[in-house]
């Protein structure tokens, strides 16, 4: 495995914050991936900062609230080393025996949500504030207008969107500069390349890919749904059915073969591919373990050859798009991302 090193920096967007080239997704510090009992979040997040992994990404819905509380405690003594990102716009409610996620991009909820996040995070400002999902019932101009008020009030430094279309990006950016778009992007999820990624580059918006390791699949550690912990939300997704995992095995085999050639791990190859898509790309792999954190941070040192990239590109386009059904629904948000 490539040895951990100090993470180089990248700038998010044309005028956004300077962050480590690899960030840390903090959804793991919630029950979504089966909980984090036996894990010390302070140790993981402290090690991230030691390595120059400065972009910490959370959201009020992760838990809900658990991840923000954990992150807030972990960074209390090192706040000035962190580029802190969180999100609002998804509200949970109990309906019978299930929890329903409602999208709420109203200006009133925007103003309410930031104060809750600041209290849980133990800070007076968030460096990057995302709308978690666009609300189809509220014009994006109204939502971003309210978010811009938070910038003026000093509660937020930069604005971002998550899972937004190219048209939504344009309309939002016309109201206030958008520093970053967070969306899924990896070797096995490349649908943003047709329209969304070019729009980001036209407007000077940085890209923050979540699930750059295919939610763990590209590491080669998930051969069947039985490998996932009870309570892990991936058990409910189409791409983690045994049939889909078997059908996509070819991409894992190619990644593993390239990793063996470079003397690194498959996860590092997957991250190196994402990092190589442009200097405006800052992936945020999530983990709750120091060993995986160090592995992810060290991916910046993996140099893929043109042949490596050609092989990865070739196998990735063969992944059946139909398996995205239920994976991301841009109008009905899942918890992740």
User: Which positions are annotated as active-site residues?
Assistant: 62
CB proximity list for 310: less than 8 A, separation 6 or greater:
none
Q: Is 154 left (phi over 0), alpha (psi -120 to 50) or beta?
A: left
Q: Which residue has the tokens 């990644």?
A: 255
Cβ pair 256, 264 in contact under 8 A: no
Q: 211: burial class by Cβ within 10 Å (0-12, 13-18, 19+)?
A: buried
**Cα–Cα dist 213/269, whole Å:** 9
**Cα–Cα dist 68/120, whole Å:** 6
CB proximity list for 219: less than 8 A, separation 6 or greater:
213, 265, 266, 267, 270
Q: What is the DSSP letter of 35?
A: -
Reading the block at residue 76, the tokens are 């209390």
Cβ pair 182, 268 in contact under 8 A: no
Q: Is 181 helix (H, G, I), strand (E, B) or coil?
A: strand
């Amino acid at each position: 495995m490539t040895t951990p090193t100090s993470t180089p920096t990248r700038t998010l967007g044309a005028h956004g914050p300077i962050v480590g080239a690899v960030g840390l997704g903090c959804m793991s510090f919630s029950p979504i991936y089966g909980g984090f009992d036996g894990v010390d979040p302070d140790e993981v997040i402290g090690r991230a900062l030691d390595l120059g992994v400065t972009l910490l990404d959370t959201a009020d819905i992760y838990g809900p609230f658990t991840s923000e509380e954990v992150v807030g405690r972990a960074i209390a003594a090192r706040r000035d080393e962190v580029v802190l990102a969180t999100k609002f716009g998804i509200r949970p409610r109990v309906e019978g025996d299930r929890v329903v996620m409602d999208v709420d991009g109203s200006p009133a909820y925007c103003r309410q949500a930031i104060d809750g996040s600041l209290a849980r995070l133990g800070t007076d400002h968030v460096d990057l504030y995302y709308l978690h999902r666009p609300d189809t019932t509220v014009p994006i101009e109204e939502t971003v207008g309210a978010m811009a008020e938070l910038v003026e009030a000093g509660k937020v430094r930069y604005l971002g969107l998550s899972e937004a279309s190219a048209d939504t990006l344009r309309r939002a950016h016309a109201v206030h500069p958008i520093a970053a778009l967070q969306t899924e992007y990896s070797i096995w999820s490349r649908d943003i390349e047709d329209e969304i990624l070019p729009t980001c580059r036209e407007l000077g918006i940085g890209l923050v890919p979540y699930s750059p390791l295919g939610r763990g699949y590209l590491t080669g550690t998930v051969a069947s749904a039985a490998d996932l912990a009870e309570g892990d939300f991936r058990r409910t997704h189409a791409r983690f059915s045994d049939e889909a995992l078997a059908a996509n095995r070819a991409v894992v085999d190619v990644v593993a073969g390239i990793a063996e050639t470079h003397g690194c791990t498959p996860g590092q190859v997957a991250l190196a591919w994402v990092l190589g898509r442009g200097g405006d790309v800052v992936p945020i792999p999530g983990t709750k373990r120091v060993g995986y954190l160090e592995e992810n941070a060290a991916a910046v040192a993996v140099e893929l050859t043109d042949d490596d990239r050609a092989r990865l590109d070739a196998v990735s386009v063969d992944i059946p798009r139909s398996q995205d059904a239920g994976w991301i629904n841009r109008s009905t948000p899942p918890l992740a991302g």
